[in-house]
Amino acid sequence: MNANALDQLLRSQTGIWRGLHSEHQAWPVIPSGFAELDASLPGGGWPLSGVLEIFSPCLGIGELSLLLPAMSYITQTKRWIAWIAPPQQAYAPALAQAGIDLAYLLVVDCRQEADIPWSLEKLLRSGRCGMALAWPRRLSDHQIRRLQLAAEAGSALAVLYPKQPSGAGYTALRLEIKPAETGLALHILKARGSLQRASLILPL
Amino acid sequence: MAATARALSPTPTDRVDTFVKPNAANSPLWLCAYFPDLALAALHLDLNQAVACSALIKGQTRLYTVSESAQQAGVEPGMAPAAALALCPGLSIRNRDPLAERQALQQLAEIALDFSPWVSLDQPDCLLLEIRSCLTLFGGIERLQDKLRTALQTIRHRPLIAISPSPTASVLLTRLSLETIVTDRQALRSALGPLPVAALELDDKILHRLFRTGIRQLTDLWRLPRDGLAKRYGAVLLQQLDRLAGQQTQILQAFHRPPRFQASREMPIELERIEHFFPAIEQLAGEFAAFLKNRDATTLGISLQLHHYDRPATRLTLDFRAGSRAPKHWCGLLYEKLERSPLPAPVLAVSLQSDAIAPFQPERFSLFDDSEQPNSETEWQAVLDQLQARLGHHALKFPGTQADHRPERAMANTPSLLNANPGLPLRPLWLLPNPDPLRLGDICLLSAAERIESGWWDDQPMRRDYYIGKDARGRKLWVYRDLNAKQQWFLHGLFG
């Protein structure tokens, strides 16, 4: 068996982990809108079937601006963006300024914490929702696993801003963000399909 | 001239009617129930008090309807509210609500449908009922009239009732407060004869000319030759007279009761577990779906009642975001609701009803674009229905924008066609519903001031200078200085 055939065989099996060499992705991605960030993300963009966890010290440092280009891209493809129990009021004129089509924007109020993962799962599975954002207090590993499966089924991106970091996690991507002098300091803690750890500063 | 007269005379079939004695059992008989106080009763005002409602007439507020006790004090329709209050200080005046009046009239029409299959709402503030066909059933005209009056009075409306073979004549009689009963077309002319000519719907010019000719009553008009009348006063007058005398056939639109569904199932024994009684609900849902399909309709909401022994029934309601006729979808939502709410007692019977029934609208999709599945919109609405059923009625919001310079008012919770406002300085992604008082302290301002001064025309004026700032924690803030309130600083938003 020559090397080429072996390579092909390995590529055909999505379950085989290929370490740092991850040029071929089994999942679709959407461009993040920042060339520098796209280069460090496996597949060249946000995974469109997975959970993205963003650890942010507080609101207002650019945790949403990071996703605005992707949100705009999603509404242009006529898919919905759902905000589940946002901690503050999302301001529609600002979203419209960022090029997001407000006709595909949904905000869901959840009185009970338990309704958040349920609503997320329903929306992710529907297939019409391209991105769902949530600010849960804490999610267990099996809840994140369920969300991961739902996101894969509906090929959607679930974005979580957890208050506390949970265990090992089944998330596709984990980021930590901090304010910096020149923009937003972003640190990739975990990325499915790649061992690369990257730290970069995005001008926002 | 002879040709004009022929053209304006009643149609040949009608003329036969005037010569041959009409078959009394077949010619229609119209009952008119007129509600002079409809505008007041629709506003749920007490008709025994001095009350009135006003409307804009030719750009001025004038009284539209006045209750009897206010009329005794000298108040009349058409008066200015101030003049009426001067006459009757205790008078309470409300604004007229035409929508409530129409709903009240429809409610009355539904009651009237118990008395006649043909009820028409063509005339304002009136119900017209064809009653010839139902006289035997109710035992004569007087008994029918009494029963109808009692039924209409149960919902606090006071009708004036007149009966005649011509709908126009019945309406005219009630408007003149004459509760007359005329069953025969021959007798109609003599019954209408003493009425004043001014009661006809004619313009003032013709009325004035008739008055100068010495014509005061309808009898005077009937004595005149038809061709001469047509020549001098135009065809409109003759048409009115023919309608009054029942010589011209009028087509009135029939009112139909809006469709409603109700069905129930009794259980053989008291059932406690949801999987035992749920098949009955599924059957009812299937029946309802067939009912909707036969009428090419969809439902906007259903209500399910679970009846218990010696206890009030448990009630579950579902509201759909878009018209639905998929029983599987309803059952899914109902099952989930039932699972989450424990029942107080075993179930004896279930009943399903719905009166929110709307015409079916087929889904539109592009002929060439096959990227979306044709039923994906329905599925998305079904997902939203699921969320709404569990989280409550107001849990789903669709943010939109509004054309207003005041930041709080530039957003709305309804989807809008208006998207970005070009030329607007940068706005924050998070807006605090109530601005936080702030000490500027260690916040450094990054932008020049944006003055927002607006709202002087309504109750919430504002004069503010907005700045973009950055605090020690690295947050990008939207702060303003209130120029009205002692130059106080506030935090209004966060650039997320």
Q: What domains are defined for chain A?
A: 33-202 (3.40.50.300)
| Structural domain for B111, as ranges | 1-36+101-257
Whether B137 is in a domain gets the answer yes
Q: Judge if B28 and B116 occupy the same domain.
A: yes
Last residue of a domain, one of B80, B96, B112: B96
Asked whether residue B349 carries a pLDDT value surpassing 90, the answer given is yes
At B381, is the secondary structure helix, strand, or coil? helix
Chain A residues inside the 8 Å CB shell of B496 = 59-60, 62-65
Same domain, yes or no: B295 and B358: yes
Which one of B370, B426, B430, B450 makes the best mutation probe of the A interface by having the most chain A beta carbons within 10 Å? Answer: B430
- Verify that B246 and B273 share a domain, yes or no: no
Structure tokens at B413: 């919770």
Out of B400, B427, B473, the one facing A102 most closely (by C-beta) is: B400
Residue of chain A whose Cα is closest to the Cα of B419: A96
Distance, in Å, from the CA atom of A151 to the CA atom of A127, rounded to the nearest integer, reads 9
pLDDT over 80 (residue B116): yes
| CA B403 vs CA A11, A95, B20, B430, B454: distances in Å | 54, 15, 70, 19, 12
Residue with the bigger pLDDT between B251 and B327: it is B327
Inter-chain contacts counted by CB atoms under 8 A, chains A and B:
142
Written as six digits, the tokens of A19 are: 């370490």
Q: What is the mean pLDDT of chain B?
A: 84
Asked if A65 reaches chain B (Cβ–Cβ under 8 Å), the answer is yes
Higher-confidence residue of B243 and B281: namely B281
Contacts of B420 in chain A (CB under 8 A): 93, 96-97, 99
* Mean pLDDT, range B217-236, rounded to an integer: 84
Query: Residues with Cβ < 8 Å from B326, sequence gap 6 or more?
Result: B289, B378, B382
In a domain, B400, yes or no: no
Taking residue B404's Cβ as centre, other Cβ atoms within 10 Å add up to 15
The region of weakest confidence among A96-110, B8-22, B85-99, B227-241 is: B8-22
Better-scored residue on pLDDT, A19 or B265 = B265
Same-domain pairing of B113 and B18: yes
Give the residue among B405, B428, B411, B406 at the shortest CA–CA distance from B477: B428
> B363 vs chain A: nearest CA distance in angstroms?
16
Minimum-distance CB partner of A102 among B384, B399, B428: B399
Structure tokens at B381: 């609405």
Cα gap A67→A22, rounded to integer Å: 23
Specify the length of chain B in residues. 496
Are residues B311 and B358 both part of a single domain? yes
Tell whether B152 and B286 lie within a shared domain: no
Tokens of B459: 């109750």
Instruction: Work out the minimum CA distance from A20 to partner chain B, whole angstroms.
Output: 33
> Measured between CB atoms, does A88 come within 8 Å of chain B?
yes
CA–CA distance, A88 with A106 (Å, rounded to integer): 14
Strands A199-202 and A183-191 turn out to be antiparallel
Residue B462 counted as domain residue = yes
Q: What is the pLDDT of residue B17?
A: 38
The helix (run of H) or strand (run of E) holding residue A41 is none
For residue A194, what pLDDT is reported?
A: 74
Task: Answer whether B420 sits within 8 Å of A93, measured CB to CB.
Answer: yes
In a domain, residue B265? The reply is: yes
Q: CB–CB of A100/B401 below 8 Å?
A: no
Cross-chain Cβ contact B476/A93 below 8 Å: no
pLDDT confidence band for B426 (50 / 70 / 90):
confident
How much is the pTM?
Answer: 0.68
How sure is the predictor about B10, in pLDDT bands with cuts at 50, 70 and 90?
Answer: very low
Quick one: B277 and B138 in the same domain? no
Quick one: which H or E segment has residue B87?
A: helix B81-87
**Please, are residues B330 and B284 in contact by the beta-carbon 8 Å criterion?**
no
Cα–Cα distance measured from residue B376 to residue B248, given in angstroms and rounded to the nearest whole number = 55
Q: Is residue B399 part of a domain?
A: no
The ranges of chain A with pLDDT < 50 are: none
A176 interfaces chain B, CB cutoff of 8 Å: no
Q: Nearest CB to B397: which of A103, A107, A126? A: A107
Contacts of B430 in chain A (CB under 8 A): 59-60, 64, 86, 88-91
Domain finish residue from B229, B257, B285:
B257
**Is-contact B5 B27, C-beta < 8 A?**
no
Cβ of B411 and A93 within 8 Å? yes
CATH of the domain at B68: 3.40.1170.60
* Statement to judge: residues B346 and B481 lie in one domain: no
The token pair that represents A175 in the structure block: 């980021």
Please report whether residue B402 resides in a domain.
Answer: no
Distances (CA, A) of B268 to B65, B276, B311, B347: 57, 11, 18, 10
**Considering the domain boundaries, does residue B397 fall inside one?**
no
CB-CB under 8 Å, A59 with B390? no
Over range B79-93, report the average pLDDT: 86
Residue B281, domain member (yes or no): yes
CATH of the domain at B189: 3.30.70.270
Distance in angstroms (rounded) separating the CA atoms of residues B72 and A159: 72
Same domain, B133 and B166: yes
Six-digit token string for B269: 């024994």
User: Looking at the 3D structure of chain B, how many domains does it have?
Assistant: 4
Residue % of chain B over a pLDDT of 70 = 91
**pLDDT above 60 for B6:** no
**DSSP-derived secondary structure letter, B196:** B
Higher pLDDT, B198 or B334: B334
Q: Which residues contact B34 (CB under 8 A, 6 or more apart)?
A: B125, B126, B159, B160, B161, B162, B171, B174, B175
Instruction: Please judge whether B429 and A65 are an interchain contact, meaning their C-beta atoms are less than 8 angstroms apart.
Output: yes
B421 contacts A91? CB cut-off 8 A: no
* Tokens, residue B129: 């009922």
With a CB cutoff of 8 Å and minimum separation 6, the contacts of B422 are none
Select the highest-mean-pLDDT range: B67-81, B199-213, B302-316, B401-415: B302-316
What confidence score (pLDDT) does residue B23 get? 53
Say what the pLDDT of residue A168 is. Answer: 61
Kindly report, residue by residue over B430-467, the tens digit of the pLDDT.
999 899 888 888 888 888 889 988 888 888 888 999 99
What is the C-alpha separation between B308 and B490, in angstroms, rounded? 57
**B466 phi/psi in degrees, rounded to 5:** -95, 140
Q: What's the pLDDT score for residue B350?
A: 93
The shortest CB-CB distance from A88 to any of B394, B397, B432 is to: B432
Strand partners, A180: A183
Give yes or no for a contact between B300 and B321, defined as CB atoms under 8 angstroms apart.
Answer: no
Dist. CA A112–CA B463, nearest whole Å: 39
Interface test with B, best of A102, A111, A118, A125 (most B CBs within 10 A): A102
CA-based nearest residue in chain A for residue B382: A126
Kindly determine whether residue B428 and residue A91, on different chains, have CB atoms separated by under 8 Å. yes
B227 and B134 in a single domain? The answer is yes
Is A190 part of the contact surface with chain B (CB cutoff 8 Å)?
Answer: no
pLDDT higher than 90, residue B233: no
Label residues B382-402 b or e (16+ Cβ within 10 Å = b): bbbbbbbbbbeeebbbbbbbe
Cross-chain Cβ contact A61/B475 below 8 Å: yes
B325 pLDDT exceeds 60? yes
Q: CB-based burial of residue B441 (10 Å sphere; 0-12 exposed, 13-18 middle, 19+ buried)?
A: exposed
| Whether residue B474 sits in one domain with residue B331 | no
The residues near B425 (Cβ < 8 Å, ≥ 6 apart) are B447, B450, B466
Backbone angles phi, psi at B358, to 5 degrees: -125, 155
Is B197 in the same domain as B248?
A: yes
pLDDT tens for B179-204 read 888 888 888 888 888 888 888 888 88
Q: Is residue B355 within 8 Å of B258, Cβ to Cβ?
A: yes
